[in-house]
Amino acid sequence: MAALCASSATTISSPSSQKTGGLLGATRSSFLGGKKLRVSKYRAPASGAKWSFTVSAAAADPNRPLWFPGSTPPPWLDGSLPGDFGFDPLGFGSDPDTLKWMVQSELVHCRWAMLGAAGIFIPEFLTKLGILNTPSWYTAGELEYFTDTTTLFIIELILIGWAEGR
């Protein structure tokens, strides 16, 4: 939803010749980039026909929605990222490399959250159908594992810390 609401950069193409009936005018929104992507499907032009088109990009909208109406967003938050409402009071994203890393880590965290949701609902559904015999997700903490929970917690901290620190 944030990718659809916060997209402020657009790409416009105006072909000067559409003699072969292509789809040069079609665009689609990039979920990850927050910008419009060009979808170019066309056949090779007939002999003697020349193709030309112009691509231009619009700047970020100065009237874009902000986290606090009337506030001035930092210069490194230009509205090109999904969910960018100009909120970075501590300046974590001021370094371009750090901002790029934060975008990628947010994608990783979202993917883990989606896997976690699937890990709750799919076994519940399969248990209701009688295919699996698994406990409900809210009673998983009551089960006895192959080792004590302190060891599992420490191993989890080490492994997740390693994955996050890369």
Q: Reply yes or no on whether the pLDDT at 163 is more than 60.
A: yes
| Residue 86 buriedness (CB in 10 A; 0-12 / 13-18 / 19+) | middle
Residue 113 carries which side chain, given as an amino acid letter? A
In tens, the pLDDT along 41-83 reads: 555 556 665 666 665 555 556 678 888 888 888 888 888 888 8
In tens, the pLDDT along 98-142 reads: 999 999 989 999 999 999 999 999 999 999 999 988 888 788 778
pTM beyond 0.75: no
Q: How far apart are CA 154 and CA 147, in angstroms?
A: 12
The answer to whether 34 touches 80, Cβ cutoff 8 Å, is yes
Q: Looking at residues 146-157, what average pLDDT do you find? A: 90
109 marked as part of a ligand binding site: yes
142 marked as part of a ligand binding site: no
Q: Could you tell me the residue ranges of all domains in the chain?
A: 1-92, 96-165
